[in-house]
Structure 1
């Protein structure tokens, strides 16, 4: 979900993220197009806000990130478990949600990037991929400690830079970045939190002008380490920044991502518009103002479901995804402080993209149905099952330098069906996985959730 490609990912050599002046570019490539040359993109939602990398050498640019949070849900679940979120895992505890280190390697146009992944996200995100249940070798365990791992080559065709990469890379779908330090909000709205955070496959990045990127993909599937069926997923990102104050992007995907249902095809289109409409970086009052608007449309058709239509019962019920989110951000005091407010909504009949709430303490999913959620009380995702949700949030950020963000955020989320963890929790009557489940017990799910998040985000 990275909205912008770091410049260190564009070239086989590495240059500072927002410093695209000619003196930083080797003479041998002075004539090629420099993507987004001269544009300040550090203000964008879902993009790296640093103006330079401090861990830069000739052949390697290092990176270190740490995301620690304290989350308090007013539902106060007894098992301290958060459900329906990839940003959070625990309630009323200080958590290390993400720790990653690695960076970009380059040598004579050969390029590679590796970022490790430790903390709760190494459990939360792979848990939502059921492709490892097809076949052997526990793909989710083998890859859960990597957030990015790819290698490729930087070509120059005429003056056009082209990168060809293979491996595990971040998704752009949903606008928000996988790395919280790049986002305006901590708890992503439904639009981003229910769309993929990573892809596994190949991509080609083409920069036909200084303002345009075209990036086709051939991948295993929708946030899946492996494939659910024989057909790979295909898609593309197009990003256009006509000026440094405007960004437009579209991400489109087509694939077969229902286990053991190869006739069911998925299409998804994700589209965002970002505008910075005020910029006075030296001001000690309001120094910058911007907003982002994202809208998604998708559907599944075939294999017992029928896209947007309920008109033909023989083809099954409608199964689609519609969502939108809007965020407004104001920076103060030379961009050292910021206030963000926004939210979004989603409707998803069939629940095929809903983050399933964790089940109880029972072990594995049904071996005859790899898409079934864990536990004895799985959250149903049958054709026609309705799900609608909406959320809003506001936060204050303190950013004393480009590497540190301290954030306080309030979030309200609501669904039309019981979905969030209530006071009884989702694990057992005591909240412990070691407690046997008595007859009649069920996870306590409720329709609303209010929470306060305190986060410290560090990045080098």
Structure 2
């Protein structure tokens, strides 16, 4: 930076004053200028304060999926699953979302509604013999109230499950379709959640909930869930549990479940994800059912708008309690992601599923009209999600 010639100018002024001294004024008290009143900004009204915390969200998730089995019923995946790309050879709506949320200060809420094939699958397991069945809740993704004070946050109502690696909203996931571990564990739960933040990195949760992804209660039992989570600059990990009575009578089907999730940012462009699950449940007159699973995922950011993700997974349902068939499911998925704009995501995905049993719908029909079944399926999917 160049130095200013200001000191030389000031010295010239000092010399001139010394040559021609000015007459000195008599000493006296200094005059203080009158104070200028400072304009006070009016305090924001309650409506303005609420508006500053209110967030409106909306989005559309649409897809075209082709199943090389060409299932006669046009439905991919096994019964009770398929929250993404369920329909074969159709341009279809997976999920349309509309919602509003208010950041807790200290009280807040979130209401999120949805429509599409994903929502049909999501609430298909709701009990039908209660006053509030699937028809009542079929459009609800989340409806919860929250309270925050210091490190403690409480949330009550219908809210996302603490279990798993993936979200119901496709734009938040590395791949377009969800893993078997995601499809066969809860996406949502109903009850009360308490979160305590020990620091910027460590937190813990305790859940008192109705049960395993259900809003309407189907037995007298309740369930507990826990989470311990760490979120660092490169490593994020959580261990999640569920314990509850899942039998129809509420006391003959104790379910114990553990879920571990970890992601590691190897470089700014390359990330790895790992998930492992294990669960058991007492089954009347049949002993104890067991299931376990694991998945490894990777994501590479090739450039600012382009990324590639891959996933390999197995899911062993030894006794058929969770998937409906005693089987070993496995899948491999490869996804190309392009984000041409901030709120627009395009995904092109190839996926192959295999089972030790014939559980995937085929092109032919049996005598009773049901689709023939095959031990594998291959899908090619194009998905578009636009959310704000």
Q: TM-score range by the shorter chain?
A: 0.7 to 0.9
**TM-score, scaled relative to structure 2:** 0.83
Q: Say whether the 8 Å CA contact 1:171–1:196 is kept in structure 2.
A: yes
| 1:151 matched to 2:140 | no
Change (3 A) 1:245 1:79: same
User: CA–CA distance in 2 between the matches of 1:301 and 1:450?
Assistant: 35
Structure-2 residue corresponding to 1:291: 272
Structure-2 residue corresponding to 1:388: 328
**TM-score, scaled relative to structure 1:** 0.70
Q: Give, in angstroms, the shift of residue 352 of structure 1.
A: 2.0
Q: Give, in angstroms, the shift of residue 261 of structure 1.
A: 5.8
User: CA–CA distance in 2 between the matches of 1:82 and 1:298?
Assistant: 26
Q: Say whether the 8 Å CA contact 2:67–2:380 is kept in structure 1.
A: yes
Which of 208, 213, 217 matches 1:218? 208
| 1:184 matched to 2:154 | no
| 1:68 matched to 2:62 | yes
| 1:110 matched to 2:99 | no
Change (3 A) 1:216 1:92: same
Change (3 A) 1:327 1:223: same
User: CA–CA distance in 1 between the matches of 2:149 and 2:286?
Assistant: 43
Q: Deviations over 1:184-242 (max 9, x none)?
A: 0112221111111110111011111110121110111001112232110111122101x
**1:309-388 mapped onto 2 (5 Å cutoff):** 319-334=289-304, 336-354=305-323, 381=324, 386-388=326-328
User: CA–CA distance in 2 between the matches of 1:459 and 1:195?
Assistant: 25
Structure-1 residue corresponding to 2:28: none
User: CA–CA distance in 2 between the matches of 1:188 and 1:119?
Assistant: 16
Structure-1 residue corresponding to 2:285: 304
Q: Say whether the 8 Å CA contact 1:262–1:303 is kept in structure 2.
A: no
Give the strand-richer structure, 1 or 2. 2
Ranges in structure 2 where 5+ consecutive residues have no aligned partner: 1-49
Q: Say whether the 8 Å CA contact 1:228–1:256 is kept in structure 2.
A: no
Change (3 A) 1:107 1:153: closer
Q: Secondary structure at the match of 1:278?
A: coil
Q: Secondary structure at the match of 2:52?
A: coil
User: CA–CA distance in 2 between the matches of 1:115 and 1:297?
Assistant: 30
**1:46-445 mapped onto 2 (5 Å cutoff):** 57-84=51-78, 85-106=82-103, 108-129=105-126, 131-133=127-129, 135=130, 137-156=131-150, 161-241=151-231, 243-260=232-249, 262-279=251-268, 288-307=269-288, 319-334=289-304, 336-354=305-323, 381=324, 386-424=326-364, 440-445=368-373
Q: Say whether the 8 Å CA contact 2:85–2:381 is kept in structure 1.
A: no
Structure-2 residue corresponding to 1:375: none
Q: Say whether the 8 Å CA contact 1:419–1:446 is kept in structure 2.
A: yes
Structure-1 residue corresponding to 2:386: 458
Q: Say whether the 8 Å CA contact 2:192–2:209 is kept in structure 1.
A: yes
Higher relative contact order (CA 8 A, sep 6+): 1
Ranges in structure 1 where 5+ consecutive residues have no aligned partner: 1-55, 280-287, 308-318, 355-380, 430-438
User: CA–CA distance in 1 between the matches of 2:104 and 2:328?
Assistant: 49
Q: Say whether the 8 Å CA contact 1:293–1:326 is kept in structure 2.
A: yes
Q: Give, in angstroms, the shift of residue 176 of structure 1.
A: 0.6
Q: Give, in angstroms, the shift of residue 140 of structure 1.
A: 1.3
